[in-house]
Amino acid sequence: MKFDTPAATNPIDRLKIVGQPLDRIEGPLKTTGTAPYAYERHDVVPNQAYGHVLGSAIAKGRIASMDLAAAKAAPGVLAIVTAENAGKLGKGEYNTAKLLGGPEIEHYHQAVALVVAETFEQARHAAELIKVQYAPAKGAYDLAAPRDKAKPAGTDDEPADSAVGAFDGAFAAAAVTLDATYTTPDQAHAMMEPHASIAAWDGDKLSLWTSNQMIAWSVGDMAKTLGISKDKIHLMSPYIGGGFGGKLWVRADAVMAALGARAAKRPVKVALQRPLMFNNTTHRPATIQRLRLGATKDGTITAIGHDSWSGDLPDGKPETAVMQTRLLYAGANRLTRLRLAVLDLPEGNSMRAPGEAPGMMALEIAMDEMAEKLGLDPIEFRIRNDTQVDPEKPERSFSQRQLTECLKTGAERFGWSARKAQPKQARDGRWLVGRGMAAAYRGSPVIKSGARVRLDAKGTVTVETDMTDIGTGSYTIIAQTAAEMMGVPLDKVVVKLGDSAFPVSAGSGGQFGANSATAGVYAACVKLREAVTGKLGLNAANAQFADGQVRSGERSIALADAAKDAELVAEDSIEFGGLDKKHQLSTFGAHFVEVGVDAATAEVRIRRMLAVCAAGRILNPKSARSQVIGAMTMGAGAALIEELAVDTRHGFFVNHDLVGYEVPVHADIPHQEVIFLDETDPLSSPMKAKGVGELGICGVAAAVANAIYNATGVRVRDYPITLDKLLEKMPDVG
Ligand code: MOS
């Protein structure tokens, strides 16, 4: 199905099942520990052996020699895979560094060997006996240092530079200006389930049970890496314990399991040990961001400039932190630039709303600072600079843009009017109390997505698509879509996901999954409805599917009857035909935060948070709310604690485990509220939906920073806002 004209009224608009706050259909499997995750699939293939990955102990250089003798002789060892004996390997499209290093080493903890043994303990023990001699080389590990040599970096969709009007002159001439630099640190996904895979060969065919967000990408990259054709690979990832962008691609676990299984002639399972993951896999790269804002005295932005520097391995990509600045606020003179420095740290890549999450961390503090300089309420300042068209390309309007409504609704619900505009004015015992806010913004792209639906003689509808559920609720919203389309209750729908034998979907990433994948299911259901009416001899044009019946004129026939002789199967995909080019599809919101800062110790406690989101039709308010709450929690982490500490001498992340890399826990976030504004977007898809998960993170950290400023009068521009950055400057409040 081609989607190239705005969606008309369709069966989804009934909203009997779609749009309802239903429980997750796979919830009982998750809560009883019976949803099978990759590493736990003991039953899928017999005789599984264990692989343990050895990571490089240097960040850059060469392996001079590797002595495997002791490891080979260790008990239980079946095979050892290294670059020397693995045969010729290609490189996938989605990884920058090789997933098996040697003799060249590209980053710290790059996999250099896999030991396969009868037991996990034997594999781990033998890996420790491998003696590697390295010839280290000098690398670049500190973003601040090579920043001046950073090069423009972008793509056709996200070019390095954008310029409108004459920024320099307008900024110089502006009545009120702000020129401030902000930094965001390297961060780790730190998802709960580690990267894990089981690989089994049957002749030249590979089965891979893994944990992965993008099935088709990953089949492609496995094929490229192993030098085999895609149709020889069966990749399965039905349950995923969090991805956060770290599982958009295959990593060393998958490739090494496949190589290990080939070498040992046995199925092999590999989980990346947690202390390896932080340097072996990908992370969100650090940024340095310079914001320049110029405005008239009444708060109209006349110049807006955003430069962002980040680093990555050679041939890597930038953190696209300026994207929202191209779209969020009006202003006649504009300049944004992405610059990329070569660093020899582990590979930087997508994490939890790449681009906008760190970009909003900087932009939305800058907006707060500028509002203060103008003597304007920060909400009023944003509303004054709202726009209904793409400020860089005014001929493009937003498909829907309710930023102002989000800001106003949030202000009312949060009690913004009771906030003291001047900092250091509110006190609650030992706590200095402050309130802050930020806009929320995240793009909402659409991606071709396919599905197959089956109807059997019992009236059960089965959906098959390679879409994944990374904890987001895909199973449930897909079931809701099929149930609504076919007029059956939710328990008559079976959803099968995450299998490369199924039609290729959008996958889970960039908050494009929910809208695109359900639209693909919609398209397949339209075809199945045609097959049903054809089979039943009903007029397709006026057929109603409801209550397990198909009605047309005076006739009403049980849906199941259409399949009583043979199962009916329909397959289709949604293909987006350019409405998303003519219009800007984006999601908007507002984040509000109240903090307490201990007057003596500068310890920060978040007291309450509110998010207001305008993100198209909300397919399931319960799972969407969970998405946003999770995202707000990630925003709190980014604001206050999450930071990979870089060893700039040896080139690795020092705090590479869950003790050293802190993420928020329940106790950190006492009260969170989410409001969804009514919105249907007929330009987004027949579902009229968008994504919402990543919107929930974009802006949160700045709202926390702005609240801390409101509480203490201390402006911290370097995340995370740990108490050492506050303590020296805390007000003397006795
Ligand atoms: Mo998302 S970071 O694109 O999985």
Q: Give DSSP secondary structure letters for 670-691.
A: --EEEEEPP---TTT-TT-B--
pLDDT tens track for 309-334: 999 999 999 999 999 999 999 999 99
Residue 133 has pLDDT above 70, yes or no: yes
CB crowding 227-241: b at 16 or more within 10 Å, else e: ebeeebbbbbbbbbb
Would you place residue 145 in the very low, low, confident or very high pLDDT band (cuts 50, 70, 90)?
confident
Residues 6+ apart with CB under 8 A from 346: 97, 107, 108, 109, 110, 278, 279, 280, 281, 282, 283, 313, 652, 653
Distance of CA 466 to the CA centre of its chain: 18
CA 136 – ligand 1 centroid, Å: 33
The number of the ligand 1 atom at minimal distance from the alpha carbon of 352 is 2
Question: What are the residue boundaries of the structural domains of the chain, listed by start?
Answer: 2-35+446-581, 45-354, 355-444+585-729
- What is the distance between the alpha carbons of residues 461 and 319, in angstroms, rounded to a whole number? 42
Burial class (CB in 10 A: 0-12, 13-18, 19+), 611: buried
Query: How far lies 25's CA from each of 112, 408, 469, 716, in Å?
Result: 41, 35, 12, 44
Q: Are 242 and 38 in contact (CB under 8 A)?
A: no
Domains 45-354 and 355-444+585-729 share a fold: no
CA 61 – ligand 1 centroid, Å: 31
Answer yes or no: 679 catalytic.
no
Q: Read off the pLDDT of each residue in 381-393 and give the average, rounded to a whole number.
A: 98
Angle at 252 between CA 249 and CA 256, to 5 degrees: 125
- pLDDT for 668 equals 86
Q: What is the DSSP string of 509-522?
A: -TT-HHHHHHHHHH
CA 535 – ligand 1 centroid, Å: 42
Structure-token match 């340097």, residue found: 279
With the C-alpha atoms ordered 558, 562, 566, 571, is the resulting torsion angle positive or negative?
Answer: negative
Residues forming beta bridges with residue 308, ordered by sequence position: 289, 338
3-state class (DSSP) for residue 436: strand
- What is the distance between the alpha carbons of residues 102 and 133, in angstroms, rounded to a whole number? 12
The number of the ligand 1 atom at minimal distance from the alpha carbon of 243 is 4
Would you place residue 734 in the very low, low, confident or very high pLDDT band (cuts 50, 70, 90)?
low
Q: Are 99 and 26 in contact (CB under 8 A)?
A: no
φ, ψ of residue 551 to 5 degrees: the values are -115, 140
Distance of CA 537 to the CA centre of its chain: 46
Which tokens is 704 given?
A: 């926390």
Q: Which of 370, 351, 394, 528 is nearest to 452 (CA)?
A: 528
User: Residue 130: in which H helix or E strand, if any?
Assistant: none
Q: Read off the pLDDT of each residue in 80-101 and give the average, rounded to a whole number.
A: 96
CA 213 – ligand 1 centroid, Å: 9
Structure-token match 């400057």, residue found: 729
Would you place residue 419 in the very low, low, confident or very high pLDDT band (cuts 50, 70, 90)?
very high
Topology (CATH level 3) of domain 45-354: Aldehyde Oxidoreductase; domain 3 (3.90.1170)
Residues 6+ apart with CB under 8 A from 598: 430, 431, 432, 604, 605
The number of the ligand 1 atom at minimal distance from the alpha carbon of 213 is 4
3-state class (DSSP) for residue 375: coil
- What is the distance between the alpha carbons of residues 338 and 336, in angstroms, rounded to a whole number? 7
Q: Are 580 and 400 in contact (CB under 8 A)?
A: no
- pLDDT for 492 equals 98
Q: What is the architecture, at CATH level 2, of domain 2-35+446-581?
A: 2-Layer Sandwich (3.30)
pLDDT tens track for 450-467: 999 999 999 999 999 999
The percentage of residues in the chain with a pLDDT greater than 70, rounded to a whole number, is 100
Q: Are 186 and 312 in contact (CB under 8 A)?
A: no
Query: How far lies 650's CA from each of 108, 137, 602, in Å?
Result: 9, 10, 32
**What residue ranges line ligand 1, CB within 6 angstroms?**
213, 243, 245, 248, 350-352, 354, 509-510
Residue 335 has pLDDT above 80, yes or no: yes
The number of the ligand 1 atom at minimal distance from the alpha carbon of 350 is 2
DSSP state of 347: P
CA 245 – ligand 1 centroid, Å: 4
Among 347, 575, 694, 728, the active-site one is 694
- pLDDT for 146 equals 78
Query: How far lies 570's CA from each of 467, 487, 503, 550, in Å?
Result: 17, 16, 11, 17
Residue of 350, 356, 697 to mutate, ligand 1, most atoms within 8 A of C-beta: 350
Q: Are 233 and 500 in contact (CB under 8 A)?
A: yes
Instruction: Tell whether omega for the bond before 720 is within 30 degrees of 0, i.e. cis.
Output: yes
pLDDT tens track for 658-669: 999 999 988 888
Of 144-148, 385-389, 541-545, 690-694, the least confident: 144-148
- What is the distance between the alpha carbons of residues 188 and 543, in angstroms, rounded to a whole number? 51
CA 383 – ligand 1 centroid, Å: 29
Nearest residue (CA) to ligand 1, atom 4? 245
The number of the ligand 1 atom at minimal distance from the alpha carbon of 354 is 2
pLDDT tens track for 170-224: 999 999 999 999 999 999 999 999 999 999 999 999 999 999 999 999 999 999 9
Q: Which of 695, 693, 696, 725 is nearest to 708 (CA)?
A: 725
Q: What is the DSSP string of 287-336?
A: EEEEEEEEE-TTS-EEEEEEEEEEEESTT-----TTGGGGTSS--SEEEE
Q: Which of 452, 461, 451 is nearest to 550 (CA)?
A: 461
Residue of 214, 351, 516, 698 to mutate, ligand 1, most atoms within 8 A of C-beta: 351
Residue of 237, 248, 251 to mutate, ligand 1, most atoms within 8 A of C-beta: 248
The number of the ligand 1 atom at minimal distance from the alpha carbon of 247 is 4
- Residue 147 exposure: Cα atoms within 13 Å on the Cβ side: 14
CA 58 – ligand 1 centroid, Å: 29
Is 684 or 667 the better-scoring residue by pLDDT? 684
pLDDT tens track for 251-296: 999 999 999 999 999 999 999 999 999 999 999 999 999 999 999 9
Would you place residue 168 in the very low, low, confident or very high pLDDT band (cuts 50, 70, 90)?
very high
Query: How far lies 50's CA from each of 36, 37, 115, 426, 470, in Å?
Result: 18, 16, 8, 58, 25
The percentage of residues in the chain with a pLDDT greater than 90, rounded to a whole number, is 98
pLDDT tens track for 602-631: 999 999 999 999 999 999 999 999 999 999
Mean pLDDT of the chain: 97
- What is the distance between the alpha carbons of residues 232 and 222, in angstroms, rounded to a whole number? 10
Sheet of 493-496: strands edge to edge? 2-3, 568-576, 449-455, 461-464, 493-496
Residue 138 has pLDDT above 70, yes or no: yes
Distance of CA 455 to the CA centre of its chain: 33
- pLDDT for 733 equals 80
CA 693 – ligand 1 centroid, Å: 10
CA 523 – ligand 1 centroid, Å: 25
- What is the distance between the alpha carbons of residues 661 and 379, in angstroms, rounded to a whole number? 34
DSSP state of 190: -
Specify the CATH number of the domain 355-444+585-729.
Answer: 3.30.365.10
Q: Read off the pLDDT of each residue in 107-135 and give the average, rounded to a whole number.
A: 98
Distance of CA 125 to the CA centre of its chain: 35
Q: Read off the pLDDT of each residue in 140-162 and give the average, rounded to a whole number.
A: 92
- What is the distance between the alpha carbons of residues 209 and 501, in angstroms, rounded to a whole number? 13
The number of the ligand 1 atom at minimal distance from the alpha carbon of 353 is 2
